[in-house]
Amino acid sequence: MTARTRVFVGILLVYALGVGVLMWRLLADIDPRYRESAEESLVETAYLMATQIEQRSGSDSPLDTAWLEPLFRDLYARRFDANIFGIRKQSVELRAMVVDAHGIVLFDSLGRHEGQDYSQWRDIRLALAGRYGARTSIDFDGDPDTSVMVVAVPVRIDGRIAGAVAVAKPAQSIGQFVAAARRKTLAVGLTSVVAVLLLAVIVAVWLVRPFGLIGATLRDLRHERTLSLPRLGRRALGTFGAAFDEMRDALAGRHYVADYVQTLTHELKSPLSAIRGAAELLREPGMPEADRRRFLANVERETQRIQELVDRMMELTALD
């Protein structure tokens, strides 16, 4: 493989590697960004429920959660059809839980954990300490697709922490948006790559080679009155192969080498003419010693100039 071909292939590999790294980073960053957005919405929902419970509950009585059971029953029974950027949503997947000051579950929207002690769960423990708590847990052991995002906030009655509200959402409901975003990102990336390759093909054929191919095909039709598809295919492949070589050589600097050699040839004429003139004058008898030394210095200077040009040409030849 010549140096020109290695340079050309290197350019293509660097481009492909750059696009691959960029796509990998973008795709890896989609899921965390969607989870952050979903968590922000869960926090607002949790504080909304905590405020409603605080307004309904008395200072000396247990937290009022009786109204939550019919609310979520009717909410889960509601059916609708919402098209969210191409994703259809037809039911509510939001979950809610209310615990007292000791972490005992007073209300569970799914009706599965009422009466259980949740004080050791990270989100509930932090909320009962007056802080914001969050966690992601698997709903069913051994099934990572059932992971649930949970956030918890404290419920305050007369300045004291009387309990906590936790709201949750299955990660799978967010996953479909993540998958759709990844598909769109991949589509954009692949479209960009195809566009660049198409542009490279257009540049490769220099916008004129198809005319030569068409002209040759028309000449064959005039002479033979028949169209040979195999011959046309071979000619087209040859045309694109020659265009590829031209584009490779242009990127690798082959035409620059040709131009440089032509310039070098022109540059050699001046010192050669000076040396030839000095040699003719040095052959004349009776030349003063001062003039002789001056012409000899000219010969040495021009010889050194030629040597520098030859050295530069040898360095350039080594690139091939």
Give the pLDDT score at 21.
85
Q: Which amino acid is at 128?
A: L
Give the pLDDT score at 128.
95
- Do 98 and 141 form a contact (C-beta atoms < 8 A)? no
Give the pLDDT score at 150.
94
CATH, domain 253-320, list 3.40.50, 1.20.1630, 1.20.120, 1.10.287: 1.10.287
Q: Which residue is listed with tokens 């490779």?
A: 248
Distance separating alpha carbons of residues 253 and 272, to the nearest angstrom: 29
In CATH, the number for domain 3-180 is 3.30.450.20
Q: Which amino acid is at 60?
A: D
Q: Domain-by-domain residue ranges, the chain?
A: 3-180, 253-320
Structure tokens at 134: 């969050």
Give the pLDDT score at 244.
63
Of 41, 36, 34, give the one whose Cα is nearest residue 168. 41
Give the pLDDT score at 239.
63
Which whole-number Å values give the CA distances from 137 to 76, 80, 147, 188, in the listed order?
22, 28, 5, 33
Give the pLDDT score at 318.
66
Give the pLDDT score at 208.
47
Give the pLDDT score at 130.
94
Consecutive sets of 10 residues in the chain, 320 residues long: mean pLDDT of each?
62 77 84 84 94 89 91 93 86 94 94 93 95 87 79 93 94 81 83 74 55 56 59 65 62 59 74 80 79 83 82 69
Give the pLDDT score at 257.
60
**Predicted TM-score of the model (pTM):** 0.56
